Amino acid sequence: MTGTSLDGIDVAIVDFNYNGNEFTFKELFFETYNYSDKIKSIILEIIGSTGQIYNISQLNFALSKIYAESVKSALTASGIDKSQITAIGMHGQTLWHQPYTKKFAEMFVSSTLQIGNISALNVLTEIPVIGDFRSADIAAGGQGAPLVPVFDYHFLRSQSENTICLNIGGIANITYLPKGCSKADVIGFDTGPGNMLIDIAAKKYFDKNYDSNGDIARSGKLDNEILDLLMNIDFINKPYPKSTGRETFNVMFVNNYFGDNTLPEDILNTLTHYTAKSIAANIINSGFEVDKVVVSGGGAKNSYLMELIQSYLPQAKVIDSMQLGVGIDSKEAVCFAFLALLNILGLNGNLPSVTGAKFETILGVTAGK
């Protein structure tokens, strides 16, 4: 128990008995362990910024309401009855991802923060909910990402072909599955930008949410000089394991590299090249033998991006995941349903070879039974 008075952490060890009707208890031990002044002042500072913390608290529950509506809509649209659903796997909305330890309140801390309240979604849907899949891996010393490789291992590995599973969402990430691999052989990491920079530029210069089919980029010219600069940033050339997010690849990133004298379509062309080349560079620099690249995520629908990836990886066969029965758009959602299943079965979900965790662990917390 830690109360509003911030005086410390009350730890009671209690022996309860229940005869099916009446409870009794015996207090075996009690002590209060003080909060450090540093932690106390951080908490007070956060609570003091009322506007922001109010927003986060409300968003946490607003998301659960929206998620619950989405689940209900999906059940109605599919004609599947709620009683047939074992559980919901809820990734939640990432607000921060800090995969590397940083000094914080005189400790070395790494963390990740996904919101959308798990308990509220359970109450609103009356379906058990499993969420917060990344935290256990972070606590085990891992990066909490990527988590998709365990899905790739179970459903996309091949005995005869060295396979890369490439997901191009906002961020691009790969899973490397050497032919005939075991779980411990799997490698996976973020390669850098997926659709994020392309989408930002499409919005900024053409007021479009994305560059449909890569048509705008295709009409522009590559700026080789800027591409070289972009390829030189730390993250692209850092060896795996690694993960990244909106903290690095954002609108400021685009603004930093492109001035007013580059044509908008050339910016899109260069960013599409950058996305393709940074993916390929990560594969080549890691020394992976590749026979097949299985692409999922929105980027798989950008035919120009797909062509460029193929051109940067001429030795491999670049296909979209639907050709192997895994939906391009649905893959990640299916993966988090799978991670929920692993939790229910009591099976570990993280791959230490991928996340850098010190040990395997069950991922997720559960609301409802």
Q: Token digits for 269?
A: 């062309």
Q: How far is the CB of 316 from a second copy (least distance, A)?
A: 25
User: What CA–CA distance (Å, rounded) separates 278 from 226?
Assistant: 13
Sole window of 71-79, 172-180, 260-268, 276-284 interacting with a second copy (rule: CB under 8 A): 71-79
> For residue 196, which of 220, 167, 223 has the smallest C-alpha distance?
167
Q: Please, is 40 exposed, middle or buried when counting C-beta atoms within 10 Å of its C-beta (0-12, 13-18, 19+)?
A: middle
Q: How far is the CB of 224 from a second copy (least distance, A)?
A: 28
Determine if 11 is a binding residue for a second copy (CB under 8 A): yes
Helices 149-156/331-345 angle, 10° precision: 90
Binding mask 263-282 for a second copy (x = CB under 8 A): --------------------
Residue 326: count of CB within 10 angstroms of its CB: 19
Residue 29's SS3 state is strand
Place of tokens 């379906």: 127
Sole window of 22-30, 156-164, 216-224, 303-311 interacting with a second copy (rule: CB under 8 A): 22-30
Q: Token digits for 335?
A: 């993966």
Determine if 368 is a binding residue for a second copy (CB under 8 A): yes
Determine if 96 is a binding residue for a second copy (CB under 8 A): yes
Determine if 45 is a binding residue for a second copy (CB under 8 A): yes
Determine if 365 is a binding residue for a second copy (CB under 8 A): yes
| CA distance to 189, 257, 280, 281, per residue, from 237 (Å) | 12, 18, 11, 8
Residues 264-288 as b/e (b if ≥16 CB within 10 A, e otherwise) read ebbbbbbbbbbbbbbbbbbbeeeeb
Using CB under 8 A as the binding rule, the residues of this chain from 318 to 357 that contact a second copy are 327, 329-330, 332-338, 341, 345-346
Q: How far is the CB of 342 from a second copy (least distance, A)?
A: 9
- Counting residues that bind a second copy (by CB under 8 A) gives 127
Using CB under 8 A as the binding rule, the residues of this chain from 296 to 315 that contact a second copy are 298
Sole window of 129-137, 157-165, 235-243, 304-312 interacting with a second copy (rule: CB under 8 A): 129-137
Q: How far is the CB of 225 from a second copy (least distance, A)?
A: 28
Q: Which is nearer to a second copy, 74 or 229 (CB)?
A: 74
- From 67, 240, 257, 274, residue interacting with a second copy (rule: CB under 8 A): 67
Q: Which is nearer to a second copy, 116 or 226 (CB)?
A: 116
Q: Is 161 left (phi over 0), alpha (psi -120 to 50) or beta?
A: beta
Q: Token digits for 188?
A: 């996976």
Using CB under 8 A as the binding rule, the residues of this chain from 204 to 263 that contact a second copy are 209, 245-247
Q: Token digits for 27?
A: 């207090």
Q: How far is the CB of 204 from a second copy (least distance, A)?
A: 14
Partner residues linked to 248 by β-bridges: none
Residue 179's SS3 state is coil
Tally of residues, the chain: 369
Using CB under 8 A as the binding rule, the residues of this chain from 105 to 124 that contact a second copy are 105, 107, 109-113, 116-120, 122-124
Using CB under 8 A as the binding rule, the residues of this chain from 152 to 211 that contact a second copy are 154-155, 169-171, 194-196, 199, 209
Determine if 99 is a binding residue for a second copy (CB under 8 A): no
